[in-house]
Structure 1
Amino acid sequence: MTAPGRRSSTFTRLLRHGFTDASAAERLLDGPELAPLRDDPVLLEALGATADPDLALRGLVRLLEAQQEPAARRELLDTLISAKPLRDRLLGVLGASAALGDHLARHPRDWQVLVTYEPQDLHPGVAEFERRLAEAADPVALRVAYRRCLLSIAARDVCGTIDVADTAAELADLATATLRAALRIAGAAAPEDARLCRLAVIGMGKCGGHELNYVSDVDVIFVAEAAEGADEGKALRAATRLASHLMRICSETTVEGSIWAVDANLRPEGRNGPLVRTLSSHLAYYQRWAKTWEFQALLKARPVAGDAELGEQYLAAVSPLVWQAAERENFVSDVQRMRQRVVDNLPAAEAERELKLGRGGLRDVEFAVQLLQLVHGRSDPSLRSGSTLDALKALAAGGYVGREDAARLDEAYRFLRSMEHRIQLHRLRRTHLVPEDEADLRRLGRSLGLRTDPVAELHREWRRHATAVRRLHEKLFYRPLLDAVAQLAPGEARLSPEAARERLVALGYADPAAALRHLEALASGVTRKAAIQRTLLPVLLGWFADSADPDAGLLNFRKVSDALGKTPWYLRLLRDEGAAAENLARVLSAGRLAPDLLMRAPEAVALLGDGDGAGPGGGLEPRSRAHLEQEIMAAVGRAADAEQAVTVARGVRRRELFRTAAADIVGSYGTGSQPAEADQGALVDRVGAAVSDLTAATLAGTLRAVVRDHWGDTLPTRFAIIGMGRFGGHELGYGSDADVIFVHEPRDGVGEREAAEAANKVVAEMRRLLRLPSLDPPLIIDADLRPEGRSGPLVRTLKSYAAYYRRWSLAWESHALLRAEPVAGDEELGRRFVELIDPLRYRPHGLDEDAVREIRRLKARMESERLPRGADPRLHAKLGPGGLSDVEWTVQLLQLQHAAREPGLRTTRTRRALAAARDAGLIGAEDAAVLDEAWVLATRVRNAVMLVRGRAGDTFPTDSRELAAVGRYLGYGPGRVGDMLDAYRRTTRRARAVMERLFYGG
């Protein structure tokens, strides 16, 4: 016994070195077994460096007790004192694995295997393990020899001499050597069976992939052939007996425990199929009956034991089938569903602790990597590795996975595998559950090098890596591009010039020679950029071909790629980010407007990714007017002068027009069948609102820039811009003018003349700035709906408007005011203007007969005078029968007659007013539906013309390719232009009939 003072000092030191039961440790240190080491200061440090110092100390005492001969005990003690490498390895194992501590206590001389592994001899292979297992003549001896080999692997593992990948590879090599030894023992027990057949053992799963766990089922498949001159039936029966015996040798439990279970359930037909088949039988099954998951499993197949030549023949025969699996129908979705089924079947109580099968676990990495391998490995042999980490490295090198994503997955996979290894190593039990016991968690954390607060650090690191895995699994495993690549015909996943030319012609490219030049420019060379392009282009070609002008799509893609060639995120976005690649293909081949906008702001391609993507504002969701105004006002505030401010505002407008056009195209691009009417209406409303909000924000920014340049912070007069027509109705199209009127009111102390001069100068300067030369779609301010039209003053005071409307207002002006809404400038003045005009447009007593006749006369005159000469009235979307004008005038007549009594009609928006009239019983539901359908269709035609031609138009194009592109936008596939025109005429004819009955009283 030691003195109390010494005990106190030792007790404190033990706690400081990581012992949790310092009293018990103190007793053990004072015991006779450790007497020679009692005063060795290095011992406590070495014990404190282990995962569990208490466990290591108990294991060391047991090992010393097991040394029956004093000389043997002295040898061990001397070695512990003099040989630090051995001391670290031995104590490291004892502190990490109770099971290996038990083995050493039963086999006390086995510690000596840890002496021989110095740095120059760190990586034994199959041959070395075979040599060490060679003397095992029976199952018990094989188990002992196996544990002895396992001891040496574990020692280097826990001491950090080898990393987790090396550990897994050595465990697989040890399993290979063990299977060979087991087959040797089985053959020795039945030499006649061994003479009758050739038997090959194929390693599968983690054994086949050189990434085995400490304790795992070893998956195998057996293939056999009759030996020369032997009967096939007898040979198969003999091979089956040998295979069964091999499985028992490895799986059965003896006094030395078991090695591991040999699992042959990955064979054809699983447990219901014969254990052993001939090579031809295997091939027949895989060619006819195999399911997708079976080819995924074969990705890791590797001959490991038995007849080496037969094993290689098997591998050569099945490998082509593995790399054709992605061509199976629904291949990608099958693999995705299989992974989801595994997650769904996890017990709820264990799901959060599952390292292997749970969300963010090892399987998420493995399935994502394997799916990418199977899809892209058809044409890229560099991806054909059975090792997850090697395959991940190859995927990154080939550009199929981003370098950062691959590095993050590699780091997470190594950490999770290390956790799994250390959990299994403790008791040498097959488990993938993170323990719940505090002591187990502490040991696990310390074994991974987490020492400050092992449990808390372990949970934090585990969750960090699991979260990263889950995010990247979702990104890679459900990548839309995968399914598209998988659907390519054999040989198309990589483009050769000959195959590319044939495919271009078949896909309908008008100029395959030019298209080939684009492909060569994009995909030639050995750069990473070219590698990613070679992955993208075969799929993009098909998407371009699904448009009216595939040549334009490919040309535009080359232009965008050239413009963004040195931008690191561009190709990564197309490869990884949701449906970005398909969205870009649709946008670039749908006409001129969106590509022209994109060419002037190529960085806007980032908008085509996911909603939280890298683009300004993220994704294709339109931004609110408040958000747009905030951005434009901030940019105007930073600009040096008004012209620069308007240039910046135009840049925002350009980007947001592209966002709106891209969303419209992506939402409209069907698969050859017309979109549902509700979808069409939603698209129209979305475009109208987005363009109107953008126009309002641009005008607000221009107004601010003009005022700042000429008056500083405050204009001498309050000033408001009132939107009219489609602008006020939130229904602007891509090519619409901005119909407005201007109102002002002098500030206190400012004379009317000075105020009027300031207001007119504002208007003149705004119009000048917005007319400055630009390649962007023009923003034209049209003030012709003001009182007295073009003859009247551009700007009036609120008092002047009141006087005019009181004395001179005509029915047409009340009609025009139905869609008046403040859009920019002084909000209070805008509100008061609305209060002024409400009694005019929502007349308390409706319209008298004279007013109705005047409105009808104006409509008839507009039809006869404004329709362009030579235009087919039946196909004119604005002024033709059943077009926009017919629907809008019908709805607006109902508003003028009934809005005073029906609040729902007090809206500037056509579709809302039509719905309100229907709900109020002023128009039948069927008539309302006919008018709504015609209005939506005519609006979409006008939007389509602008998208396709890049300039506004109210009639269908005459050019056949442009007409086909309009049809594609409207949901009509190739060869269905006639159907589109017939449907348009039919829809507008019905609307005209309703209009004549309701508007003209016919």
Structure 2
Amino acid sequence: MQISTRQLIFAGFDDLERAKRFLADKDLVGVDTTALVGHLAHAADPDMALLSLLRLIPHAPAVLELVASSRTAPGLLRVLGASDAMTNFLIRVPESLEVFRNPAPESMQGRDGQELRAELLRAVGADPASGIPPVAKVSGEDGYRALRVAYRKATLSLVHRDLGATDALEAMPAVGRELADLAAAAIEGALAISRAEAAQRFEADDIADLRLAVIGMGKCGAHELNYVSDVDVIYVHSSERLDTDLAHALARELASGISRAIDTMGTEPGLWEVDANLRPEGKDGALSRTLESHAAYYDRWAASWEFQALLKARAIAGDAELGAAYEAMVAPLVWFSSEREGFVDSVQRMRRRVTENIKPAELSHQLKLGPGGLRDVEFTVQLLQLVHGRIDETLRVRSTTGAIVALSMAGYIGRDDAEKFDRSYRFLRVLEHRIQLVNLRRTHQMPHKEADQRVLARSVRSTSGVKLTTAAGLMQRWGETKKLVRQLHERIFYRPLLSNAANLSADEVRLSPEAAQSRLRALGYVDPKAAMRHIEALTGGMRRRAALQRQLLPVLLGWIAEGVDPDAGLLGFRRLSESLGESHWYLGMLRDSNAAAERLCKILSNSRFITDLLEVSPESTAWLGSNKLLQPPGYEALWGEVSSKLQRNLGPDQAIRLIRVIRRREILRTALADGAGVIDQDAVGRALSDNDRAAVRGALEVAQRNEFASTAQVGEFLVVAMGRQGGAEIGYCSDADVMFVQRAFEGADPQAVQEQALRIAAALGSLLGKPMVPAIQAEPRLEIDTALRPEGKSGSLVRSLAAFEEYYSRWAQIWEFQALLRAAPMAGAPELAKDFMEMVRPLRYERVMSEDQLLEIRRIKARVEAERLPRGAEPERHLKLGRGSLSDVEWLVQMMQLVHAKNHPDLRTTSTRPALAAIAAAGIIPSEEVKLLDDAWSLATKIRSGGLICTGRVSDVLPKSWRDMEAVARWCGYAPGEASVMEDDYLKATRRARQVFERYFYGFED
């Protein structure tokens, strides 16, 4: 009978012309094609099912009998339309068609694990009922094939029942359990083969004496295995008679034999990889250990993540008594692991590593490892188990679905949340199973093509009443599930804390105070009692702020916990929230801007300095919601604001306070922009320098106004920036290196001019150094440092322009010419600034350096290294004076400027990095070596600023404590947990920079 196009479309065919051609194939002569098309409608991919049927008929003509029956055809065609790999197996082993003689039951009925074990042992000729360890009668290629065929036949039966189940989500746990039992049975059969093969090298009595247990880990241990997955195992052995070396050798031989039987190439393809890398010491460790050796390792050397992995450990094959002893040994270690130092960081690092290993092109289609994927569910559930299982034994279950039920029954997850979490997990696992079934390959990628997505939708169309028939419907459901999983993580882990603190409602989950504190401790809070007090203060009461905080804190607590110091972060958040009260913009920003709220939480838990500044300037929090508001305003805008304040005729104390408030505010803005990644390192230096320049100019105007109110002005005054201030590359809370210049008005008394200038200079330092109210611990005062003036601290604080000119022409030392390389006007009389810079131009750029002068520079640098490095400081860790650090790079750059700026105008800059670029462009130092200098200088600068930002303390030394190092590393852009990476990078960068420095500064060669 001719099949219509409409019938084919209704059945779900994609390639209609090919379907008509196949249905007319000679092998289907006599088959009721109308009925066949109706049966093919049961298949997820009718096109593949029909093709597979035609491929199968020549090898197994009996398949036509099954297709002709309405009892057996739907089940067979469901399998042929879901798994090309199963079709290939049926072609290789046609007698396996007997699986389809009976229809699949509508509800999934799993097979008993002992029954599967017996079946696979009998397949290799071993006696499953024997009181001694089973030994196969067939081994080698014949044994491998027999085992694999029996395994795949059992898998075929499971696929038949799985695809026939009315509710795929309901069936999922039973499918995972049977797959795990089937894998255990395969390993038992492989061990029986391995014993037979070992008899060729070892004595039979020795083999019988060795007790070997196989411990299933991961999904196999949890009884929730995929159709295709590595089976993670750990081997443990014991012997009462054999010596240690022989026992180890025999255990290694048996373990290796298991892998050969399961996964070597053969006439029947391998099943899956037996992965023993979760064993102590991983790939570097012994393949098998004694129980005592395992115990010693876990007691002394195991990392926290290894205990999390042991949560799933279950004896699956081999000696049952030894396996039970292993389970009993590790159980206490698992359930007390959350008390270990660094536990949270270890768990978070492992989760990040999983995410980081995803290829960017695959992230959006990752079913397992991406955001809202299977790993998010599993990590959330496992962390809750490890936190609360220490005191609540009902949570000590291995499977994820079982753990969700246990957590809900014990009150750690609300019933509604538990149901949603469970259904989301089941749905994701069903998708994973169906995708893997096609080729029986390990994959966790959602299909990219619409046709493949449509097939997948049909394969899971029966899911607890949710009908999925289109690609768009499937992808929408998947997207909703991912979003829900992320939301549930926040609710499940954090909401009970709020319920405990704020008594939200009668149907909210309630934790005991002890359980809530355990959860906070596991998140990384050192003082969970204090954290609970802060949560209670934030969420208590009926005001709008408290209601909104109850909604937001599940998310905010998570972001705060990701920082280095969650306790300080939560305290800072509480203080900030109390300062801002019911401010509509603040609550709105937290509610509506995830980026701003996340920035705030992470800054509060990583930076003591910024937290202190926000406490006295809470309104600045608003900048976090806008990259535009975070941009530093620049010198002209700052001076315009300072100037407008000074026009109010305020007293000196009021005026200088406003100037310093503006400066402190702009330091905060720069730090927030820096932390948010809105500006780069060079922009940070410029912004801080512009800020200081505006503050010094404002303070100078206040000092002069006060001076000239009682004494007539008799001269001009100039502040010249020196050092890193002159180079516009300062850090947070840098001193202002300056020189003071004066010039008398015509006819004025030189002595009176000098005295007036000294009073102005003294007033300037005093005004800028006044304590702020309110004060903070790391107050960003601007200290005036005049040590770079002629004759240093022994010289006059202020000199006239003529005195400067005479000094530099007659008495100046080479280091003073070097210091002038960074001189730049900062504040004061414009004409005097112009004349001063014209005077110093030939001194710093047009001199011809003699060999004696170069030698003197080298001597001074060597003396600085020997004398100024603090006692006990490690030279390789000092950021300013250490080997290859800031001082080395800057001295080398300045020597190159003194020598070459006369002929290379691009070298005439006060800033280090532009000078380095000019040195490379001129070919004075090869560009690859200049890059080494630039890398070391940049990293040292960033770490130096990060030290103050994160700890609130000024330090010129690479941190040694883990917490400080970790905080600084994050500030410098390293991923969490990469403190040691930053340390290694710095030591490597400065070591290389030092080699370049010595080569070109001292003339040393490698």
Task: Give the TM-score taking structure 2 as reference length.
Answer: 0.50
Q: Which residue of 2 aligns with 1:906?
A: 908
Does residue 592 of structure 1 match 2:589?
no
| Structure 1 segments (4+ residues) deviating >6 Å | 278-288, 316-320, 322-329, 370-376
Question: Where do residues 758-797 of structure 1 align in structure 2 (5 Å cutoff)?
Answer: 758-774=756-772, 775=775, 776-797=779-800
Partner-residue secondary structure (3-state), 1:579:
helix
**Partner Cα separation in structure 2 for residue 735 and residue 485 of structure 1:** 41
Partner-residue secondary structure (3-state), 2:677:
helix
Question: Where do residues 280-679 of structure 1 align in structure 2 (5 Å cutoff)?
Answer: 485=487, 488=490, 490=492, 492=494, 495=497, 496-497=499-500, 498=511, 500-577=516-593, 579-612=595-628, 618=629, 620-638=630-648, 640-667=650-677
Does residue 804 of structure 1 match 2:807?
yes
The residue identity in structure 1 corresponding to 2:828 is G
Shift of 1:641: 0.9
Partner-residue secondary structure (3-state), 1:589:
helix
**Partner Cα separation in structure 1 for residue 831 and residue 489 of structure 2:** 60
Shift of 1:504: 1.6
**Partner Cα separation in structure 2 for residue 624 and residue 317 of structure 1:** 54
Compared with structure 1, are the counterparts of its residues 928 and 578 closer, same or farther at alpha carbon in structure 2 (3 Å cutoff)? same
Partner-residue secondary structure (3-state), 2:822:
coil
Partner-residue secondary structure (3-state), 2:526:
coil
Of the three residues 681, 685, 690, the one matched with 1:688 is 685
Question: Where do residues 872-887 of structure 1 align in structure 2 (5 Å cutoff)?
Answer: 872-887=874-889
The residue identity in structure 1 corresponding to 2:697 is A
Partner-residue secondary structure (3-state), 1:667:
coil
Question: Does the CA-based 8 Å contact 1:895-1:905 persist in structure 2?
Answer: yes
Compared with structure 1, are the counterparts of its residues 924 and 327 closer, same or farther at alpha carbon in structure 2 (3 Å cutoff)? farther
Shift of 1:283: 7.7
The residue identity in structure 1 corresponding to 2:824 is E
The residue identity in structure 1 corresponding to 2:750 is E
Question: Does the CA-based 8 Å contact 1:587-1:594 persist in structure 2?
Answer: yes
Partner-residue secondary structure (3-state), 2:606:
coil
**Partner Cα separation in structure 2 for residue 529 and residue 556 of structure 1:** 16
Partner-residue secondary structure (3-state), 2:680:
helix
Shift of 1:971: 3.7
Compared with structure 1, are the counterparts of its residues 525 and 318 closer, same or farther at alpha carbon in structure 2 (3 Å cutoff)? closer
Shift of 1:577: 3.5
**Partner Cα separation in structure 2 for residue 537 and residue 484 of structure 1:** 15
Of the three residues 976, 981, 984, the one matched with 1:982 is 984
**Partner Cα separation in structure 2 for residue 326 and residue 907 of structure 1:** 61
Does residue 708 of structure 1 match 2:710?
no
Q: Which residue of 1 aligns with 2:694?
A: 697
Q: CA RMSD in A?
A: 3.9
Shift of 1:484: 7.0
**Partner Cα separation in structure 1 for residue 479 and residue 578 of structure 2:** 27
Compared with structure 1, are the counterparts of its residues 989 and 889 closer, same or farther at alpha carbon in structure 2 (3 Å cutoff)? same
Q: Which residue of 2 aligns with 1:930?
A: 932
Shift of 1:836: 0.6
**Partner Cα separation in structure 1 for residue 167 and residue 943 of structure 2:** 61
Shift of 1:835: 0.9
Q: Which residue of 2 aligns with 1:414?
A: none
Shift of 1:514: 1.1
Partner-residue secondary structure (3-state), 1:785:
coil
Does residue 942 of structure 1 match 2:944?
yes
Of the three residues 827, 831, 834, the one matched with 1:828 is 831
Question: Does the CA-based 8 Å contact 2:815-2:857 persist in structure 1?
Answer: yes
Partner-residue secondary structure (3-state), 1:952:
coil
Shift of 1:782: 0.4
Question: Does the CA-based 8 Å contact 2:169-2:423 persist in structure 1?
Answer: no
Q: Which residue of 2 aligns with 1:45?
A: none
Does residue 742 of structure 1 match 2:740?
yes
Partner-residue secondary structure (3-state), 2:827:
strand
Q: Which residue of 1 aligns with 2:142?
A: none
**Partner Cα separation in structure 2 for residue 925 and residue 934 of structure 1:** 14
Q: Which residue of 2 aligns with 1:862?
A: 864
The residue identity in structure 2 corresponding to 1:986 is K
Shift of 1:954: 0.5
The residue identity in structure 2 corresponding to 1:799 is A
Question: Does the CA-based 8 Å contact 1:494-1:535 persist in structure 2?
Answer: no
Compared with structure 1, are the counterparts of its residues 707 and 957 closer, same or farther at alpha carbon in structure 2 (3 Å cutoff)? same
Question: Does the CA-based 8 Å contact 1:548-1:589 persist in structure 2?
Answer: yes
Partner-residue secondary structure (3-state), 2:676:
helix
Shift of 1:683: 2.9
Shift of 1:604: 1.3
Question: Does the CA-based 8 Å contact 1:494-1:538 persist in structure 2?
Answer: no
1:66-100: CA deviations, max 9, x gaps?
xxxxxxxxxxxxxxxxxxxxxxxxxxxxxxxxxxx
Shift of 1:739: 0.1
State how many pairs are aligned.
Answer: 547
**Partner Cα separation in structure 2 for residue 318 and residue 877 of structure 1:** 51
Higher mean C-alpha deviation, range 934-943 or range 636-645: 636-645
**Partner Cα separation in structure 1 for residue 757 and residue 169 of structure 2:** 86
Question: Where do residues 240-259 of structure 1 align in structure 2 (5 Å cutoff)?
Answer: none
Shift of 1:317: 12
Question: Where do residues 16-415 of structure 1 align in structure 2 (5 Å cutoff)?
Answer: none
**Partner Cα separation in structure 2 for residue 738 and residue 1000 of structure 1:** 30
Task: Give the TM-score taking structure 1 as reference length.
Answer: 0.50
Residue identity over aligned pairs, in percent, reads: 45
Shift of 1:887: 0.4
Question: Does the CA-based 8 Å contact 2:735-2:782 persist in structure 1?
Answer: yes
**Partner Cα separation in structure 1 for residue 425 and residue 637 of structure 2:** 45
Question: Does the CA-based 8 Å contact 1:327-1:487 persist in structure 2?
Answer: no
Partner-residue secondary structure (3-state), 1:509:
coil
**Partner Cα separation in structure 2 for residue 631 and residue 951 of structure 1:** 30
- Structure 1: unaligned runs, 5 residues or longer: 1-231, 233-277, 293-315, 330-369, 379-482, 613-617, 669-681
Partner-residue secondary structure (3-state), 1:857:
helix
Partner-residue secondary structure (3-state), 1:823:
strand
**Partner Cα separation in structure 1 for residue 951 and residue 731 of structure 2:** 14
Shift of 1:591: 2.7
The residue identity in structure 2 corresponding to 1:589 is S
Shift of 1:693: 0.9
Partner-residue secondary structure (3-state), 1:869:
coil
Compared with structure 1, are the counterparts of its residues 924 and 833 closer, same or farther at alpha carbon in structure 2 (3 Å cutoff)? same
The residue identity in structure 1 corresponding to 2:618 is P
**Partner Cα separation in structure 1 for residue 851 and residue 487 of structure 2:** 67
Shift of 1:803: 1.4
Question: Does the CA-based 8 Å contact 2:788-2:819 persist in structure 1?
Answer: yes
Q: Which residue of 1 aligns with 2:754?
A: 756
Compared with structure 1, are the counterparts of its residues 926 and 768 closer, same or farther at alpha carbon in structure 2 (3 Å cutoff)? same
Shift of 1:648: 0.7
Partner-residue secondary structure (3-state), 2:883:
coil
The residue identity in structure 1 corresponding to 2:905 is P
Partner-residue secondary structure (3-state), 1:638:
coil
Shift of 1:279: 13
Compared with structure 1, are the counterparts of its residues 327 and 832 closer, same or farther at alpha carbon in structure 2 (3 Å cutoff)? farther
1:809-828: CA deviations, max 9, x gaps?
22111100000011112222
Compared with structure 1, are the counterparts of its residues 808 and 579 closer, same or farther at alpha carbon in structure 2 (3 Å cutoff)? same
The residue identity in structure 2 corresponding to 1:565 is G
**Partner Cα separation in structure 1 for residue 577 and residue 982 of structure 2:** 34
Question: Does the CA-based 8 Å contact 1:967-1:980 persist in structure 2?
Answer: yes
